Structure 1
Amino acid sequence: MTRRYNFCAGPAALPTPVLERAREELLDYRGRGLSVMEMSHRSPEFTAIAEAAEANLRTLLRIPDNYRVLFMQGGATMQFACVPLNLLGGGGTPNYLDTGIWSGKAIKEADHLAGSHLAASSRAGGYVDVPASDRIALSADAAYLHYCHNETIGGLAYDYVPDVAVPLVCDMSSSILSAPLDVSRFGVIYAGAQKNIGPAGLTLVIVRDDLLGRALPQTPSLLDWKVYADNASMINTPPTYAWYLAGLVFEWLKDDIGGLEAMAAINRRKAATLYDAIETSDFYSNPIAPANRSLMNVPFVLADEALNDTFLGEAEAAGLLNLRGHRSVGGMRASLYNAVGQQAVEALVAFMGDFEQRHG
């Protein structure tokens, strides 16, 4: 079997060594005679898997001791509701930065539950950059400031961390574990797993201790961060196999790659290879301001949109999968998550050059 190059935005490519390890352990986990999928989540074997996963994640991100790590379900989209539900028990207004579709969805959920204040937006400019830090205007009663670090659909990423006097909440679904991160600057970080963490079905939440226990009274128990923190993320049966696979990804990052500094260097090189190919072409273009171009999600358009389907068909025949842009924006998008190697990017660039020669 020949594995092809997968540029899907999510569920995304997983590291080949992780898949090979999972294949080896699928039917018989370390001599137990059963799969991880068949284990009780309260068994000593799975408890050890869960504890090792958290320990490795804490090492990778250098998570301070006063933060709890939660392994939840529901995707990052469920956290759009969890954030206001868990942080508004003491009053105040949710504050948001708007940089695209995913931050917009978080704002809509907050508006549905409690109303929100828009602290800054880049909508007027077409979401091609992020609001400058001096444009952020919090409400007088701000309970927190929420933003999306990397807009997966638009390919837009922040080049700074907002410096505010209220808890900072960040959706890092498509950028977490791609580079070192100072967790101490945030009150809450959350991320859907299906980009750089593992398979879909798991959601990671990193929350500072003092922000637990602030939930609104009507918060359902399965949406309350403190309930998860108090029960080691096992208030009900968790997505055990996704948790196990995430643990294998953390091991791969730590032991095979050498940590997030090394991963960041790899990611910068991959992104530069693709952006350079786009910049030096009259056939392809990317609209995002250079300072805010995502290293994870690279959207681009062809000079002649009538060639889109031809491009996608030929790319798939060449082993380059899932390059169609999101349905809301069209064009193309190459997602360069951690598991997408330099070889994949070079194969894409070579194809793009050849396609331009033949169709440009």
Structure 2
Amino acid sequence: MPRPYNFSAGPAMLPEAVLEQAKAEMLDWRGSGMAVMEMSHRGKEFVAIAEQAEADLRELMNIPANYKMLFLQGGASSQFAAIPMNLLRGKTKADYLNTGMWSKKAISEARKYAQVNVVASSEAGNFTTVPARETWKCDPEAAYLHYTPNETINGVEMHTVPDVAVPLAADLSSTLLSRPLDVSKFGVIYAGAQKNIGPAGLTIVIVREDLIGQTIAGTPTMLDYAVMAKEGSMYNTPPTYAWYIAGLVFQWLKTQGGLAVIGECNRAKAELLYRTIDESGFYKNPVDPAYRSWMNVPFTLPDEALDKPFLAEAKTAGLLTLAGHRSVGGMRASIYNAVPLAGVKALVDFMADFQKRHG
């Protein structure tokens, strides 16, 4: 039986080839006599896994030499505190753009450590667009600007990188590795792994070297980028198995042709799904078309009473976890890298059939 298509926002679908390789290596990693999750993180076997994963990610993303790569615990949410702790660097103010629920969480946490200036917000419009750049009110004394390029819950995405005079910090949890990215435009990039990278438990931080080493007083050791960089992300025991799976995903991405190829596939998937929604006269997407996410596509049905039948029938058809976030409702299809074009085609075919029977 073919595997169902999993449209979960995260933890999300992983490439089947990666799962098969992990299965084959589960009891004995390459003759070591150990499963990866049994290895010492300081043993030569796991060190080799970690070094290969870092090298592959650096190659995939073309990460400049003056950026450190950290493989950490705590999820992207721990970085909401780590960003001001590491990036204030003697200043007291920071700029934040508010475009959705994850932006709000980052702002709330940052306010414990900095004077936060919200440069612009789309909350009044229910987070269905991004404020025009000319309306942003940046603070000339801000140490950095933080934003969330893709709001997983709201399905809003900025498709260009803001040009600002201060270091740019970005929560790329749901878009990292979904297409090419110019890392040199950022001071810090961070991402929880459970979207396009691997299983939950791992967080990747890519930070420019000149921003490391001037933390605020009282910064926990585990959130100090300088400590983690010096220790190769192994100040304590890292999330070894999640790191290993991420490494397999990086290798899989390389076999697919890299980020340029995967990006075109992701564009095609998103265009197909949005076109189906827009042309249906039945389904609706609330997001400003200029800021629609490639990764997270929310949509509603004409009557909420149809939601439960839609989800039940979709599950029977092998289309899983399509319910929208509880704060938004409706449906949401998260179409990350591991969801193939065939999965999106199966979804739109089901949507058309459901509409015929219920429209």
TM-score, scaled to structure 2: 0.99
The residue that corresponds to 1:68 in the other structure is 68
Distance in 1 between residues matched to 2:38 and 2:125, nearest whole Å: 51
The residue that corresponds to 2:89 in the other structure is 89
Cα offset, 1:60, TM superposition? 0.6
Letter in 1 for 2:298: P
Q: Is the 8 A contact 1:149 1:157 kept in 2?
A: yes
Number of aligned residue pairs: give it.
359
Q: Is the 8 A contact 2:92 2:114 kept in 1?
A: no
The residue that corresponds to 2:320 in the other structure is 321
Deviation string 1:303-329 (CA, Å, 9 cap, x unpaired) is: 111110110011111110000000110
Distance in 1 between residues matched to 2:306 and 2:123, nearest whole Å: 29
Letter in 2 for 1:337: Y
Distance in 2 between residues matched to 1:175 and 1:89, nearest whole Å: 28
The residue that corresponds to 2:211 in the other structure is 211
Cα offset, 1:354, TM superposition? 0.5
**Secondary structure in structure 1 of the residue aligned to 2:112:** helix
Distance in 1 between residues matched to 2:150 and 2:97, nearest whole Å: 12
Q: Is the 8 A contact 1:282 1:303 kept in 2?
A: no
Distance in 2 between residues matched to 1:134 and 1:73, nearest whole Å: 37
The residue that corresponds to 1:332 in the other structure is 331
Cα offset, 1:140, TM superposition? 2.3
Letter in 1 for 2:137: A
Q: Identity of aligned pairs, percent?
A: 62
- Where structure 1 has 5 or more consecutive residues not aligned to the other structure, the ranges are none
Letter in 2 for 1:139: D
Distance in 1 between residues matched to 2:179 and 2:24, nearest whole Å: 29
Q: Which has the higher mean CA deviation after the structures are superposed, 141-150 or 112-121?
A: 112-121
Distance in 1 between residues matched to 2:103 and 2:239, nearest whole Å: 26
Cα offset, 1:357, TM superposition? 0.5
Runs of 4+, deviation exceeding 4 Å: none
2:163 is the alignment partner of 1:163: yes
Letter in 1 for 2:258: G
Deviation string 1:245-266 (CA, Å, 9 cap, x unpaired) is: 0000000001x21100000000
Cα offset, 1:217, TM superposition? 1.5
Cα offset, 1:111, TM superposition? 1.2
The residue that corresponds to 1:279 in the other structure is 278
Distance in 2 between residues matched to 1:121 and 1:336, nearest whole Å: 26
**Secondary structure in structure 2 of the residue aligned to 1:131:** coil
Letter in 2 for 1:350: D
Deviation string 1:135-162 (CA, Å, 9 cap, x unpaired) is: 2221121010000010000000002211
Please give the residue correspondences for 1:214-253 in structure 2 after superposition, counting only pairs within 5 Å: 214-253=214-253
Distance in 1 between residues matched to 2:142 and 2:225, nearest whole Å: 20
The residue that corresponds to 2:125 in the other structure is 125
Cα offset, 1:101, TM superposition? 0.2
Letter in 2 for 1:8: S
Letter in 2 for 1:164: V
Q: Is the 8 A contact 1:89 1:217 kept in 2?
A: no
The residue that corresponds to 2:54 in the other structure is 54
Q: Is the 8 A contact 2:27 2:34 kept in 1?
A: yes
Letter in 2 for 1:11: P
2:143 is the alignment partner of 1:143: yes
Cα offset, 1:2, TM superposition? 3.5
Deviation string 1:108-146 (CA, Å, 9 cap, x unpaired) is: 001123231011111222211112222222112101000
Q: Is the 8 A contact 2:89 2:143 kept in 1?
A: no
Letter in 2 for 1:97: L
The residue that corresponds to 1:309 in the other structure is 308
The residue that corresponds to 1:34 in the other structure is 34
TM-score, scaled to structure 1: 0.98
2:263 is the alignment partner of 1:259: no
**Secondary structure in structure 2 of the residue aligned to 1:247:** helix
- Where structure 2 has 5 or more consecutive residues not aligned to the other structure, the ranges are none
Distance in 2 between residues matched to 1:140 and 1:184, nearest whole Å: 22
Distance in 2 between residues matched to 1:83 and 1:16, nearest whole Å: 34
**Secondary structure in structure 2 of the residue aligned to 1:112:** coil
